[in-house]
Structure 1
Amino acid sequence: MFQRSDPPDITITWDGRELPARSGESLATALLAAGVLSFRETPVSGAARGPLCLMGACFDCLVEVEGQQNVQACMTPVHPGLRAAPQHGVRDLPEVEAA
C-alpha cells in the first residue's frame, strides 16, 4: 500500500518487532511503509485507529515512544534504535493522594 522512494537505512522496534525505517522520516511513515495500519485502540470501544491527517491535527496516531504515552507518530522523527508501541485505551495518570 505505502512505499518509500528511498531504501530504509535504520531499524526501529515496534511492539517488540524490528522494522526497517529511513532516518528522519516520521514514525507514522515508517509504520505505514512496514504494513502497520493500527497504531492504537480507542478508550471507549477498543476500536483500532491509525493515522488520518499525517500533519498533527487529528491525534488518531497516538502511540507510546520510549515509554512516553500520547506521542503523535506523525510528528515524531525516527532514529536508529527508536522503541515504540501501540497505545491501548487512555494513558496512565500518576496517583494523586487526597490532602
Structure 2
Amino acid sequence: MRIHVEGREVHVREGQTLATALLGAGVVPLRRTAVSGAPRTPLCLMGVCFDCLVEVDGAQNVQSCLVEVRDGMQVRLPSGARRVGSAA
C-alpha cells in the first residue's frame, strides 16, 4: 500500500494506524506547536494526547493514531498558528 505525505510517496502495511506508519517511515515531527515551534510527535497512540494531529484527504485535525491507513491516502502535516475564526 502507498500513501502520500506532503507529496512524497510512502509505502505502508495494511492494518497500520497512520501514526505508526508515519513513525515507521521516519516522518517526524508530525507537527510543531503554534507559539514556540517546538516539535511534537505521537505520544500516547490511543487518542488522548492530540500530538498526532494531521490533515488527511483535506480533513484537518485528524488524530492519526486512530485512523487506519488506506491506499492512496493524502496526508499533510500542519504548520503555523491558525487565527481564531479562520477556516484556513
TM normalised by structure 1 equals 0.79
Report the alpha carbon displacement of residue 25 of structure 1 after superposing the two structures with TM.
1.1
Alignment-mate amino acid for residue 94 of structure 1: A
In structure 1, the gaps of 5 or more residues are 1-9
Q: Which has the higher contact order (CA 8 A, sep 6+)?
A: 2
Maintained 8 Å contact 1:69/1:91 = no
Paired position in structure 2 for 1:83: 74
Report the alpha carbon displacement of residue 91 of structure 1 after superposing the two structures with TM.
4.9
Greater C-alpha radius of gyration: 1
Alignment-mate amino acid for residue 57 of structure 1: V
State the superposition RMSD in angstroms: 1.6
Output the CA distance in 2 between the equivalents of 1:52 and 1:62. 11
TM normalised by structure 2 equals 0.88
> After superposition, what is the alpha-carbon deviation per residue over 1:45-88, rounded to whole angstroms, capped at 9, x for unaligned?
11111000000000001111111111111011101000101111
Moved more, 82-91 or 26-35: 82-91
Q: In the alignment, is residue 50 of structure 1 matched against residue 41 of structure 2?
A: yes
